[in-house]
């Protein structure tokens, strides 16, 4: 038994500092952390764990999203009927849909709060300036992900919210009409738009965001861990 | 070097220029278990919150989409209602393309903006009069801009402008830098526009009171 266990984790029980270090850096998922952390950096009031919780909502959304995909067809009016099936036919279907939807709103809120926290901490300054820019891209990605998902239930709320949004694309000078056409696969919100939003929502944007988050978190490490004020100064 | 080779290879290795961990001499703890446990607790707290929410509050589902029946009002999700509220004041090009473009651009360049790099306190005793004149000159100009150029005076932008400019002029808050105040202004505008759009707008995008008429979605 011990041999099997050792083949998986490759270190002993983490009751010595040596094994605790090994537990972190020989573990694929934990090795984003250094083996030791500054006490101030891990306090709740330093980051409110907002970046980590943004990533956590992304994880919850991935799991619930994949489950939802088993019950969803991106076509008209089947998409709407699938929502009704989730409500009346699928076991815990309503709960699944609720969890995905509220987590999506939560993610937008957490990412915004994370950005505000980072700004007021002054953590956007060198050497972290480009990570801030990556953050801005992640914010855009998060909002787009949420917005493309909004159309998928194909109810009145979905249809008109997306109509309001894509009409704004029309206001871009010269190429506005073309942008809108490209987004929708047509001149109005129709079945082609549903398919495009579905592919963006389930494949393109999550993949892009996953890579973006990986780079972002990697750079936090490369920039010397999260930013802390010099202990004696107020700057 | 192999004996057969008569060429000497010299490799120049540059010193690594990597940012160092800020302070090495401060209290540290083992990531495992201290940080890992905290992360686990944070994740569980979030999960419990979201699961509870999902048990007691159902996601909305209206009628099947119908392109010929527009609901009134037709609202976007909350994170876009600030923008939709702006549409009430400016033509779509300004409110939907120009202003959001400027805001996203401004966000992205924050760290490259010279004054920002040092985050110098505003009231450091130099050029105080000049700075005051600059600030209030800008405030008056911006107020005029958002008062006269829009279909209606944009109070959700003018209000936060004054709410930021007044404390900014007080030496008590003198340690704060210019970028701090500008970000604060943007943030207050975004909050004001969003709160109005979410809670105080109803059919025809007219003002409503949420405690009297409920919240329109
Ligand atoms: C999907 C969205 C995002 C995820 C998952 C994410 C994740 C994280 C994590 C885990 C950290 C470590 C420290 C912490 O939790 O505060 C972090 C730090 C940071 N994030 Fe994000 N982030 C996201 C979006 C953003 C945005 C929108 C910005 C800014 C525009 C941003 C800028 C930064 C910066 C500058 C740091 C370094 C902070 C420091 O050194 O204190 N991030 N991020």
pLDDT tens string B18-37: 444 444 578 999 999 999 99
pTM of the predicted model, to two decimals? 0.92
State the virtual CA torsion across B118, B124, B128, B130 in degrees, nearest 10.
Answer: -20
Contacts of B54 in chain A (CB under 8 A): 95, 98-99, 102
Q: Which of residues 199-218 of A touch B (CB under 8 A)?
A: none
Fold of A43-223: Cytochrome Bc1 Complex; Chain C (1.20.810)
User: CA-to-CA distance for B161 and B158, rounded, in angstroms?
Assistant: 5
Please state the rounded mean pLDDT for residues B147-176. 92
What is the average per-residue pLDDT within B62-91? 93
CA-based max dimension of chain B: 94
Asked if A56 reaches chain B (Cβ–Cβ under 8 Å), the answer is: yes
Q: Does the CB atom of residue A114 touch ligand 1 within 6 A?
A: yes
- At A144-161, the pLDDT tens digits run 999 999 999 999 999 999
Q: What is the mean pLDDT of residues B154-181?
A: 90
Share of chain A above pLDDT 90, in %: 80
Please answer whether residues A160 and A151 qualify as being in contact, where contact means their C-beta atoms are separated by less than 8 angstroms: no
What is the CA(A112)–ligand 1 centre distance, in A? Answer: 10
Within B22-118, strands assigned E span: 28-30
Mutate to test the interface with A, among B50, B95, B115, B215 (most CBs of A within 10 A): B50
Tokens standing for residue A65:
């999203």
Distance from Cα A22 to the centre of ligand 1, integer Å: 26
Classify the phi-psi angles of B125: left when phi > 0, otherwise alpha if psi is within -120 to 50, otherwise beta: left
User: How confident is the model at residue A36, as a pLDDT?
Assistant: 93
pLDDT at B171: 82
Query: A56 and B43 in contact by Cβ < 8 A?
Result: yes
- Domain assignment present for residue B21? The answer is no
Domain annotation covers residue B40: no
Q: Indicate if ipTM > 0.85.
A: yes
* Residue A82 pLDDT: 98
Instruction: Pick B217 or B145 by higher pLDDT.
Output: B145
DSSP code at position B172: G
Listed residue (A33, A14, A15, A218) closest to A130, CA to CA: A218
The 3 state secondary structure assigned to chain A is CHHHHHHHHCCCCCCCHHHHHHHHHCCCCCCCCCCEEEHHHHCHHHHCCHHHHHHHHHHHHHHHHHHHHCCCCCCCCHHHHHHHHHHHCCCCHHHHHHHHHHHHHHHHHHHHHHHHHHHHHCCCCCCCHHHHHHHHHHHHHHHHHHHHHHHCCCEHHHHHHHHHHHHHHCCCCCCHHHHHHHHHCCCCCCHHHHHHHHHHHHHHHHHHHHHHHHHHHHHHHHCCCCCCCCCCCCC
Site of tokens 């970028």: B179
Q: Are B146 and B172 in contact (CB under 8 A)?
A: no
Q: Is the peptide bond before A118 cis (omega within 30 degrees of 0)?
A: no
> Which B-chain residues 118-157 have CB contacts (< 8 A) with chain A?
119
Using omega within 30 degrees of 0 as the cis cutoff, is the peptide bond preceding B73 cis?
yes
**Is B23 inside a domain boundary?**
no
SS3 call for B55: helix
pLDDT of residue A9: 87
Compute, in degrees rounded to 10, the torsion defined by CA atoms A106, A109, A111, A115. -160
Residue B104 lies in a domain: yes
> Measuring from atom 26 of ligand 1, which residue has the nearest CA?
A135
Number of domains in chain B: 1
pLDDT digits (tens, 9 = 90+) for A187-235: 999 999 999 999 999 999 999 999 999 999 999 999 999 999 887 654 4
Contact B92/A at CB under 8 A: yes
Contacts 24+ apart (CB under 8 A), A13-20: A14/B32, A14/B33, A17/B30, A20/B30, A20/B31, A20/B32, A20/B33
CA geometry: angle A25, A29, A34, nearest 5 deg: 40
| C-alpha span between B146 and B136 (Å, rounded) | 15
**Is the residue at B85 inside a domain?**
yes
pLDDT tens, position by position, A9-47: 888 888 899 999 999 989 999 999 999 999 999 999 999
Residue nearest to atom 25 of ligand 1 (CA): A135
Helix, strand or coil, per DSSP, at residue B178: helix
In a domain, B114, yes or no: yes
Q: Do B64 and A136 touch (CB under 8 A)?
A: no
Rounded Cα gap, residues A155 and B65, in angstroms: 4
Residue B201: beta bridge partners?
Answer: B207
Q: Quick check: CB of A50 below 6 Å from ligand 1?
A: yes
Q: Answer whether A57 contacts ligand 1 (Cβ < 6 A).
A: no
> Which of B51, B55, B119 is opposite residue A125, by nearest beta carbon?
B119
- Say how far apart CA B12 and CA B172 lie, in whole Å: 54
CB A17 within 8 A of CB B30: yes
- What 3-state DSSP class applies to B207? strand
């Amino acid at each position: 038994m011990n041999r099997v266990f050792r083949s998986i984790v490759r270190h002993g029980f983490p009751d010595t500092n040596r094994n605790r270090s090994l537990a972190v850096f020989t573990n694929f998922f934990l090795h984003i952390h250094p083996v030791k952390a500054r006490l101030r950096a891990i306090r709740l009031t330093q980051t409110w764990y907002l970046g980590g919780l943004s990533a956590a909502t992304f994880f919850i959304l991935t799991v619930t999203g994949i489950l939802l995909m088993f019950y969803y067809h991106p076509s008209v009016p089947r998409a709407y009927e699938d929502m009704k099936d989730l409500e009346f036919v699928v076991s815990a279907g309503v709960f699944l849909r609720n969890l995905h939807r509220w987590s999506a709103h939560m993610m937008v809120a957490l990412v915004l709060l994370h950005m505000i926290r980072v700004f007021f901490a002054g953590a956007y300054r060198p050497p972290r300036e480009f990570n801030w820019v990556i953050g801005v891209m992640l914010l855009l990605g998060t909002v787009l992900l949420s917005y493309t998902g909004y159309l998928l239930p194909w109810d009145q709320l979905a249809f008109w919210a997306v109509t309001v949004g894509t009409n704004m694309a029309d206001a871009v000078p010269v190429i506005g009409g073309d942008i809108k056409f490209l987004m929708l696969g047509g001149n109005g919100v129709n079945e082609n738009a549903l398919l495009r939003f579905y592919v963006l929502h389930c494949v393109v944007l999550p993949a892009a965001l996953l890579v973006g988050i990986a780079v972002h978190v990697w750079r936090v490490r490369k920039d010397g861990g999260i930013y802390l004020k010099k202990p004696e100064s107020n700057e | 070097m192999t004996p057969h080779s008569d060429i000497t290879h010299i490799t120049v290795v540059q010193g690594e220029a990597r940012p160092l961990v800020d302070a090495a001499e401060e209290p540290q703890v083992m990531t495992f278990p201290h940080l890992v446990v905290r992360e686990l607790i944070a994740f569980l707290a979030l999960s419990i919150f979201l699961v509870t929410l999902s048990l007691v509050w159902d996601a909305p589902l209206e009628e099947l989409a119908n392109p010929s029946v527009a609901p009134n009002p037709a609202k976007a999700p909350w994170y876009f209602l600030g923008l939709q509220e702006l549409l009430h004041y400016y033509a779509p090009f300004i409110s939907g393309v120009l202003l959001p473009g400027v805001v996203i651009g401004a966000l992205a360049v924050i760290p490259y903006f010279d004054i920002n790099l040092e985050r110098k306190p505003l009231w450091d005793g130099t050029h105080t009069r000049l700075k005051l004149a600059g600030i209030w000159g800008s405030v008056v100009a911006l107020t005029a801009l958002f008062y006269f150029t829009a279909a209606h005076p944009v109070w959700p932008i003018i209000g936060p402008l004054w709410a930021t400019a007044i404390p900014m002029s007080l030496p008590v808050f003198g340690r704060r830098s210019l970028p701090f105040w500008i970000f604060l202004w943007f943030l207050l505008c975004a909050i004001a526009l969003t709160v109005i759009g979410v809670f105080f707008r109803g059919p025809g995008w007219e003002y409503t009171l949420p405690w009297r008429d409920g919240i329109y979605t």
